[in-house]
Amino acid sequence: GARSPRLWNPPLRLRGAHIFFLDWLMTVSMGAAEVSDGSDSCEYARIEGQEGECVAACRSTEISAGSRQASLGAITANLITAGLGTGILSLPWGTAGASLLPSVAMIALVMALNAATVMILILAAERWQAFDLGGLLAHLPGRYSFLAQAFCNTLTWASVFLCLVGYMVVIADSLEPLVSLGLGSEPGAAEAHVRPLLMAAGACAVLPLCFLDQARLSFSSGLGIAVNVYMFLLVFALFTRRGVASRCCVVGAGPGVVALFSTLMQCAIVQMCVQPMYEELKDRSPWRFNKAVIVSFGFLALLFAGFAVAAYLAFGPSVQSNVMLDFPEDARGNFARAGMVVTTLAVYPIVLKSMVAPVQHWEASRCSGQPWRWRWVVALIVAASAFGGAFAGQLGTLQTMNGAMQVSAFIAVAPALTGLFLLGMGGLRWQAAMWSLLVVGLAASALGLVYNTNEPEALTRHCVWQT
């Protein structure tokens, strides 16, 4: 018979306003499901849309024998670090095109939207015991399964690979001034022959980290979080010393708000990473993972808002798309650049896992001894990202367009179709909400690909309150 979704009964506890929606969603979506026996290590799974073909799948609670379970604190730290990639460096630039107060409101909206869509995927992952995005979408009915998998898998690999290329670019950009300083030359003078070496060094440094599980990655995650907090303190110190820059717009309207939305999505979208994280969570349940989501996304919202506002007020409308280029060339600025290298090395393996997880699960399904092919895939991806970084230009518009591209798959298609077909929710309001998420998400993605610059001049013409 067809594989039944797993029943999960939430514990009775005091419901706060911030968890009421999740409680209701879990109760309704899980309550009508049949209990499936998960005691067997190998089971037959019937995937809809495959003409009744039974697919043998060997499933275990761990991907490999050496994998450790991660604590709630480790998962929380890794969720935070996954949002601390290169996108935060462009938030002041995005704010310069959207004005202060609308930017803060946009940050709150984007973080709430991402938290909600993450939990939709986690609820479905628990219900169907599918711990990578492609495996979850395989349970969609009919042609939805093939189309959604093809679209999201393509976007996952393309957008995540662009993120990894961006990380290698940031490593080289951050180290190049430090190397020039050590060589006693002007910044950029030795870039032509030093940059490929820096890319190779970055690849060699990040490769061993890519073979660690979530529990061990939490150490590097803590370093990444500390570095971003330092960057925030540095920007705040520069703001207090310089004061408010001239012509900063507090309230206004312009096309730059679309670029800010896409840049924020580049920062906040971790939907392709959360299911491998959830699989490794100790004593996993949607409730436990929701705690990590609330803490991590709340922290990121405060950090993003504070960093974007302080940097915009300190550097003004001309702030560059990589705010580190505006940092002073002294010990404080160089420490921030070196720290960003640490942050990038910390977040790279977490994001890479979303590309490797399908390969790991495919190898696990073969039940053919110790898996090894995924390790070669990791090495190939790291080498390719370093090679691509050697030819990539500035981050700027690349970040905005990548964020806009991610919206279509990870905010619109994957969560909306999951909510429509995999949670057992048949209410009219829920169906309308999911279809709205799909349509609005695709429209926002298309707009982001068109309006991919911050256009501060347009904001100046339509600014209601300016410093």
CB neighbours (10 Å) of residue 234?
20
pLDDT at 6 over 90: no
Q: How confident is the model at residue 424 (pLDDT cuts 50, 70, 90)?
A: confident
pLDDT tens, 80-97?
888 877 888 899 999 999
Pairing state of beta strands 463-466 and 42-46?
Answer: unpaired
CA-wise closest residue to 59 among 33, 30, 36, 34: 36
CB neighbours (10 Å) of residue 383?
14
Q: How confident is the model at residue 211 (pLDDT cuts 50, 70, 90)?
A: confident
d(CA 274, CA 75): 9
d(CA 246, CA 253): 18
Question: What does the buried/exposed string (b/e) look like for 69-97 if buried means 16 or more CB atoms within 10 Å of the residue's CB?
Answer: bbbbebbbbbbbbbbbbbbbbbbbbbbbb
CB neighbours (10 Å) of residue 56?
11
User: Which one is the CATH code of 68-466: 3.40.50.300, 3.30.360.10, 1.10.10.60, 1.20.1740.10?
Assistant: 1.20.1740.10
| pTM (predicted TM-score) | 0.75
The mean pLDDT value for 358-386 works out to 80
Helix then strand then coil, in percent of the chain rounded to 5, is 70, 5, 25
332, 344 contact by CB (below 8 A): no
pLDDT of residue 58: 31
